[in-house]
Chain A
Amino acid sequence: MKLLSWLVIGGALLSAALAPVLGAQGKPLTVTGVRGLTFGAVFPGVPLAVTRTDPANSGQFDIKGPNQSQVLLTFILPLTMTGPAGAQMPLAFGSSDAGYSQSQAIGSQVGFDPKQPFTATLSNNGRGSVFVGGTANPAPNQRAGAYTAVLTLTVTVLP
């Protein structure tokens, strides 16, 4: 009986250790930032939009997880980009600036609002991609230089 208890304790510890990385089907959930959101050259006073279907400049995340599982996609989006000497440039995201593709093809996305959580289903082999666009809004007197910001996508496998 003591041996049985130890075996069960071991199982419990193993289960707890694997909980953060393994799903119900035993596949780990991974999220990878594949491509940054690139605005390129921006002129003061001229808004510049990058669409989520832009194959070169849209941002992209790839997701791997349990086959056909439902996942909740949640963005943390910056309001501004930061440039030289702390200069700020407004960054805006529209109600269809994010897209989800189960096939991971940029041409077959379902648009969604990146400011709201979105429920998606991973493919039969447990994959999916999220694409994101946005609009940079430089002021007429925007300081010249390089600007950056960080976008975070959090993915949660739903029970």
Chain B
Amino acid sequence: MRTSKLSLAVLALVVIGASAAQAQTNNATITATAHVQTPINVLGAQALDFQNVFPGVIKVVPATDLAFAGRFDVTGQVSAPVTLSFTLPATLSFGANTMPIDSYTGIHADNGSQTGGTAFNPVTGASPSLSATGGLFVWIGARVVPATNQAQGTYTASVTMTVVY
């Protein structure tokens, strides 16, 4: 009689074991990897300076003018392609007075002396690549058209360049 009870208990264990076998579980892992490149940094390095402008006399600062063209310095991931876009003012302002800017020019190069530089239209932007050292230099020139009765004063406006990968 004792033996029979033991057998029944063991049979119950067998049934439990069989049930457990049907609920088997296993798992595995994989790794997700990414290499984030160097963030872009943009510096407004030099203002676009028209210097003295006389009423009725158009003044041009070409993008090739290393002394007075506006310049942005860009750093980022070596050799990475980037897109340049600009917010360009249509006028310079002095209080309530304005003075039109009717055109812009641009040059980008991988060095600060414009050697091997490429001309572009700032209105449509450009898509250069950063240099082998991760640098890019961008110059902006423009033309102002003062009226013959342009009020005397110091006129200013902001030029914004946006750089994205």
What's the least CB distance linking A141 to chain B, in Å? 5
Interface residues of B in 1-19 (CB under 8 A from A): 3-4, 6-7, 10-11, 13-14, 16-19
The smallest beta-carbon distance between B16 and chain A, in angstroms, is 8
- A159 and B22 contacting across the interface, CB-CB below 8 Å: yes
CA distance A60 to B163 in the complex (A): 36
Binds A, one of B24-32, B63-71, B115-123, B150-158: B24-32
A42 in contact with B34 given A12-B13, A15-B21 (CB within 8 Å): yes
A35-77 contact mask (Cβ, 8 Å, vs B): 1 or 0? 1111111111110100000000001110001000000000000
B36:A29 contact, CB within 8 angstroms? no
Give how many A-B residue pairs fall within 8 Å (CB-CB). 176
With A45-B164, A142-B39, A156-B25 already in contact, the answer to whether A151 and B30 are too (CB < 8 A) is: yes
Check A39–B7 contact: CB distance below 8 A: no
Tell yes or no: B37 within 8 A of A by CB.
yes
On whether the beta carbons of A60 and B30 are closer than 8 Å, the reply is yes
Which residues of B lie under 8 Å from residue A9 when comparing CB positions? 10
Q: Closest Cβ of chain B: how far from A27's Cβ, in Å?
A: 10
Decide yes or no whether B94 CB sits under 8 A from chain A: no
Q: Check if B31 sits within 8 Å of A148, measured CB to CB.
A: yes
Given contacts A12-B17, A142-B39, A156-B25, contact A148 B165 (CB under 8 A): no
Q: How many residues of A contact B (CB 8 A)?
A: 68
Q: Is B20's CB within 8 Å of the partner chain A? A: yes
Chain B interface helix/strand/loop/mixed: mixed
When chains A and B are docked, how far (Å) is the Cα of A83 from the Cα of B37? 12
| Any B CB within 8 A of the CB of A110 | no
Q: Is the CB of B25 within 8 A of A152?
A: no
The interface bits of chain B over 24-52 (1 if a CB of A lies within 8 angstroms of the residue's CB, else 0) are: 11111111111111111000000000000
Interface size band for B: 35 or more
Given contacts A5-B3, A5-B6, A19-B17, A44 and B39 within 8 Å (CB-CB): yes
B80 within 8 A of A: yes
B residues 73-132 near A (Cβ < 8 Å) are 77, 80
Q: Are A18 and B21 in contact (CB under 8 A)?
A: yes
Q: Is A107 an interface position by the 8 A CB rule?
A: no
Which chain B residue has the least Cβ–Cβ distance from A66? B24
A83: B residues at CB distance < 8 A: 36
Contact in complex: B25, A59 (CB < 8 Å): no
Report the separation of the CA atoms of residues A128 and B12 in the bound assembly, to the nearest whole angstrom: 34
Contact present for B26 and A155 (CB under 8 Å): yes
- The smallest beta-carbon distance between A30 and chain B, in angstroms, is 6
Residue of B nearest to A31 (CB): B28
Closest to A8 in B: B10
Set of chain A residues within 8 Å of B31, measured between Cβ atoms: 36-37, 148-151
Apart from A45-B39, A144-B38, what are 11 other A-B pairs with CB-CB below 8 Å?
A: A5-B6, A15-B21, A20-B20, A37-B33, A59-B32, A89-B36, A142-B36, A147-B35, A151-B32, A156-B23, A159-B22
Pick 6 A–B contacts, CB within 8 A, sort by A: A15-B13, A35-B30, A45-B165, A81-B33, A145-B36, A155-B25
